[in-house]
C-alpha cells in the first residue's frame, strides 16, 4: 500500500509547475503542513509564501504535507507507514521540524489527525528526541494560539517575511549546541521576540474562571510576544510582491498564479481581525505590481489577484487592462461596493468572470454603523445597478447575522435591501431581457481577538438558526435568489477555538479521540465551553491573547466597542497620519 501512496504523490507532482526537490544532505529538514486537503492548501498564498521563503535558503530542505482525503487516506491508514511528505515521500518522524501553516480555526482538529497519521505524540509534553519539534505559524496563531498550547512545542508569531529567516538562522545555530529539547526551546524563546513557547508560561485563574495572571516561568523569557510585521521589510519601490510559486490544476483556483496586491485593510470594520492585526495596511506600488504581473505571465496567462478589497487598489483598472492586453485572464476576490468602477467591471466581463461579490454585511444603515462598514444603502444599490448594467453577472452578497446589537428589524432590513437590489437589477437589465442571479451568503458573526468585538459573545445557536430560516423563507420565494448559510453549530466550535484559552485544548483532544464527535466532547468537558463562547468579556479582564503585542492599544479597542454600542462610526486608517490605534507610533 505504501507504493500506492508513492505513485499517487508522484502523479500530483507531475501536474505541478514550480515545486522544488532538494537533496537532504547537511540541510535542516522542514515538513511544512497545511491542515486540510491538497487542493485547499495549494490555493493558500500564505502557505506558498512560506514554502518559497524556505526554499530560497540553501541550508534548508522543505517538503509539503497535507491532510489525506479519499483514496489517499485509505492508502495511508492501511499502509502502516505513517503520513509521508509530498516531495520525497518521507515519513514525518524523520524531519527536524514539523511546521503547521494555520489560516482557519476550523482546521485545528485536522492538526491532531495529521500528528496521529504521522505517528507523532499529540501532546508536546509527550515528545522526545528524535521526534521532530512541532511548531505553528499563520494568522490564527497571532490572533490567539492558546487553544493549541498543549499540542505545539512553539509558535512563530507574525508575518513570515519578517521573522522566518531570523528564526531559521537561530535554530540552526542552537541545534548544534543543544541536544535536549527543553534547552533548545528556552533559548529560542529568550532570543527571538516573536517566538512563543507555551510550556514556559503559567496561567493563573480566579474562582470565576477568568484569568488572574499569565506570566513566564523564568526571568529571561519575555512577558510579551512581539509579532514580526513585514512593513519593517518595506512595501516601497522595488519591494518583492508575494505570489504563488507552484501552479497546478488541482486547486480551487486552477492553474492561476496568485498575486498579493496588498496586505491588511484600512477600512476599520470592527468585526474583521485581518483589518487589525495586519496593521498598518499596506499596498504594493503600482509599478511593482506591473513588474510582478509581467514576470508571472512569462510562464502563465492566468492570474488571481488577492487583497482585502481589490477595487480599493490604486491603478486596478490599468493593472487588469495590462493582463488583458497581454492575452491573459484574471480573477478577483470580493469588491467594495463604493469603489467599483465601470472600467474594472468591463475588464471582468472581458475575461469571462461570471460572478461579482460585494459585502454589505448588514441590512440596515444603523447596523452598518455599528460595525463601522462605511457603506450606505445608496452606495450598495448604485453598485448593484452598475454591475447589472455592465453584464449578466451573478451577484453574490455577503451578510453577517448575530452581530452585536442586532435586532429583528435589522434582519428584516436584509430582506428589504435584497429585494430592492433585485428590483433595480431587473429594471437595468430589462433591455437585455435577462438578469444575473443573486446569491446570498449568510454567515454567523464570530467574535475575534484584537478587534473591538473581542468583548462580545456569540449569539445563542437557536437564535442564529431561526434567523437563517427566516431569511431563507423570505427570500427564496422571490425567485432568482439563492440563499446559503453556514452551519450554526460550527459557529459555536469556531468561537470556542477563536477566543478560548489553553483549557480548550482538552476539549479539542477529546473530540479527536471520539472521532470528531464535538457534541460528546463539549458535553463531557471539565470546563463549561459556554464560558468561552457566550460570555461577554469585561474591559478590565485579562484575555487569553493579551500577552501578544501587535502595537494596538487596548484602550482603542475599548473606545471602538463603546462607539459600536452607540452605533457611531469612526474614521478609517490614515497610515502615518493617525495615531489612534497605536500601531503607527511604533513604526
pLDDT digit string, tens, across residues 412-452: 999 999 999 999 999 999 877 777 899 999 999 999 999 99
pLDDT at 587 over 70: no
pLDDT at 158 over 80: yes
136: which strand partners?
Answer: 100, 155
- Residue 180: pLDDT band (50, 70, 90) is confident
Question: Model-level pTM?
Answer: 0.96
> Cell numbers of 108, please?
485545528
53-56 long-range contacts, Cβ below 8 Å, gap at least 24? Answer: 53/160, 53/161, 53/164, 53/165, 54/30, 54/164, 54/168, 55/20, 55/22, 55/245
pLDDT at 129 over 90: no
* Residues 6 or more apart whose Cβ sits within 8 Å of residue 495: 446, 447, 457, 458, 532, 533
Q: What is the pLDDT averaged over residues 96-113? A: 98
Q: Where are the beta strands (DSSP E) in 373-417?
A: 394-401
- Domains in the chain (CATH in brackets) are 2-230 (no CATH), 232-499 (3.80.30.20)
User: Are 350 and 309 within 8 A, CB to CB?
Assistant: no
Per-residue pLDDT of 410-420, as tens digits, reads 999 999 999 99
Per-residue pLDDT of 269-303, as tens digits, reads 999 999 999 999 999 999 999 999 999 999 999 99
Give dist(CA 127, CA 437) in Å, integer. 54
The alpha carbons of the chain give a radius of gyration, in whole angstroms, of 24
Give dist(CA 25, CA 193) in Å, integer. 30
> Cell numbers of 416, please?
428589504
Report the DSSP pairing between strands 60-66 and 97-101.
unpaired
What is the phi-psi region of residue 515: left when phi exceeds 0, alpha when psi lies from -120 to 50, beta otherwise?
left
pLDDT of residue 478: 87
% of the chain residues with pLDDT over 90:
88
What is the phi-psi region of residue 82: left when phi exceeds 0, alpha when psi lies from -120 to 50, beta otherwise?
left
Q: Where are the beta strands (DSSP E) in 49-185?
A: 60-66, 97-101, 133-137, 154-156
- Residue 210: pLDDT band (50, 70, 90) is very high
- Residue 504: pLDDT band (50, 70, 90) is very high
Running DSSP on this structure, what letter comes out for residue 96? Answer: S
> Cell numbers of 504, please?
480548550
- Residue 234: pLDDT band (50, 70, 90) is very low
User: Are 395 and 417 within 8 A, CB to CB?
Assistant: no
* Residues 6 or more apart whose Cβ sits within 8 Å of residue 169: none
φ/ψ of 62, rounded to 5, equals -120, 135
- Residue 536: pLDDT band (50, 70, 90) is very high
pLDDT of residue 230: 78
φ/ψ of 548, rounded to 5, equals -95, 130
pLDDT, the chain, mean: 95
Report the DSSP pairing between strands 262-263 and 257-260.
unpaired
Give dist(CA 410, CA 370) in Å, integer. 12
- Would you list the DSSP string of 11-67? HHHHH-BS------TTSEEEEEEESS-HHHHTT-HHHHHHHHHHHT-TTEEEEEEE-
Q: What angle do CA 568, 572, 576 make, to 5 degrees?
A: 140
Which of 463, 464, 462, 458 lies closest to 530 in space, CA to CA? Answer: 458
pLDDT at 1 over 70: no
Amino acid at each position: 500500500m505504501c507504493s500506492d501512496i508513492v505513485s499517487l504523490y508522484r502523479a500530483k507532482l507531475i501536474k505541478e509547475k514550480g515545486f522544488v526537490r532538494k537533496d537532504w544532505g547537511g540541510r535542516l529538514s522542514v515538513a511544512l503542513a497545511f491542515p486540510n486537503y491538497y487542493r485547499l492548501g495549494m490555493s493558500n498564498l500564505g502557505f506558498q509564501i512560506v514554502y518559497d521563503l524556505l526554499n530560497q535558503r540553501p541550508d534548508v530542505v522543505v517538503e509539503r504535507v497535507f491532510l489525506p482525503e479519499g483514496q489517499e487516506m485509505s492508502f495511508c491508514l492501511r499502509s502502516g507507514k505513517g503520513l509521508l511528505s509530498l516531495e520525497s515521500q518521507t515519513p514525518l518522524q524523520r524531519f527536524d521540524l514539523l511546521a503547521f501553516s494555520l489560516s482557519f480555526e476550523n482546521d485545528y482538529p485536522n492538526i491532531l489527525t495529521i500528528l496521529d497519521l504521522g505517528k507523532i505524540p499529540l501532546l508536546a509534553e509527550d515528545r522526545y528526541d528524535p521526534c521532530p519539534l512541532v511548531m505553528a505559524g499563520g494568522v490564527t496563531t497571532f490572533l490567539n494560539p492558546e487553544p493549541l498550547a498543549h499540542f505545539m512545542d512553539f509558535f512563530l508569531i507574525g508575518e513570515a517575511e519578517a521573522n522566518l529567516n531570523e528564526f531559521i538562522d537561530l535554530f540552526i545555530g542552537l541545534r548544534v549546541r543543544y541536544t535536549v529539547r527543553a534547552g533548545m526551546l528556552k533559548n529560542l524563546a529568550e532570543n527571538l521576540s516573536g517566538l512563543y513557547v507555551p510550556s514556559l508560561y503559567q496561567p493563573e485563574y480566579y474562582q470565576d474562571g477568568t484569568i488572574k495572571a499569565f506570566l513566564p516561568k523564568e526571568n529571561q523569557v519575555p512577558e510579551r510576544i512581539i509579532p514580526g510585521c513585514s512593513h519593517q521589510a518595506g512595501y516601497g519601490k522595488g519591494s518583492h510582491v508575494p505570489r504563488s510559486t507552484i501552479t497546478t490544476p488541482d486547486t480551487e483556483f486552477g492553474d492561476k498564479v496568485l498575486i498579493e496586491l496588498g496586505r491588511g485593510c484600512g477600512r476599520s470594520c470592527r468585526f474583521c481581525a485581518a483589518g487589525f492585526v495586519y496593521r498598518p495596511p499596506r499596498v504594493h506600488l503600482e509599478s511593482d505590481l506591473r513588474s510582478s504581473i509581467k514576470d508571472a505571465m512569462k510562464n502563465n496567462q492566468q492570474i488571481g489577484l488577492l487583497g482585502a478589497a481589490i477595487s480599493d487598489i490604486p491603478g486596478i483598472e490599468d493593472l487588469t487592462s495590462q493582463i488583458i492586453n497581454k492575452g491573459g485572464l484574471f480573477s478577483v476576490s470580493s469588491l467594495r461596493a463604493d469603489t467599483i468602477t465601470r472600467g474594472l467591471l468591463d475588464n471582468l466581463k472581458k475575461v469571462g468572470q461570471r460572478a461579482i461579490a460585494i459585502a454589505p454585511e448588514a441590512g440596515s444603515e444603523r447596523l452598518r454603523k455599528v460595525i463601522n462598514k462605511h457603506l450606505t444603502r445608496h452606495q450598495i444599490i448604485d453598485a448593484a445597478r452598475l454591475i447589472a448594467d455592465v453584464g449578466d453577472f451573478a451577484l453574490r452578497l455577503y451578510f453577517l447575522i448575530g452581530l452585536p446589537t442586532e435586532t429583528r428589524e435589522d434582519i428584516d432590513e436584509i430582506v428589504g435591501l435584497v429585494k430592492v437590489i433585485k428590483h433595480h437589477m431587473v429594471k437595468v437589465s430589462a433591455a437585455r431581457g435577462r438578469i444575473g442571479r443573486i446569491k446570498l451568503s449568510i454567515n454567523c458573526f464570530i467574535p475575534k481577538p484584537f478587534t473591538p468585538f473581542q468583548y462580545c459573545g456569540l449569539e445563542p445557536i437557536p437564535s442564529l438558526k431561526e434567523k437563517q430560516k427566516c431569511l431563507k423563507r423570505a427570500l427564496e420565494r422571490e425567485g432568482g435568489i439563492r440563499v446559503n448559510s453556514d452551519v450554526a453549530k460550527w459557529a459555536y466550535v469556531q468561537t470556542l477555538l477563536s477566543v478560548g484559552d489553553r483549557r480548550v485544548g482538552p476539549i479539542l483532544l477529546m473530540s479527536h479521540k471520539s472521532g470528531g464527535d464535538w457534541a460528546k466532547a463539549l458535553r463531557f468537558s471539565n470546563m463549561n465551553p459556554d464560558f468561552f463562547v457566550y460570555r461577554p468579556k469585561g474591559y478590565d479582564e485579562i484575555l487569553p491573547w493579551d500577552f501578544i503585542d501587535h502595537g494596538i492599544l487596548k484602550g482603542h479597542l475599548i473606545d471602538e466597542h463603546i462607539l459600536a454600542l452607540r452605533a457611531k462610526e469612526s474614521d478609517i486608517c490614515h497610515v502615518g497620519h493617525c495615531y489612534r490605534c497605536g500601531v503607527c507610533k511604533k513604526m
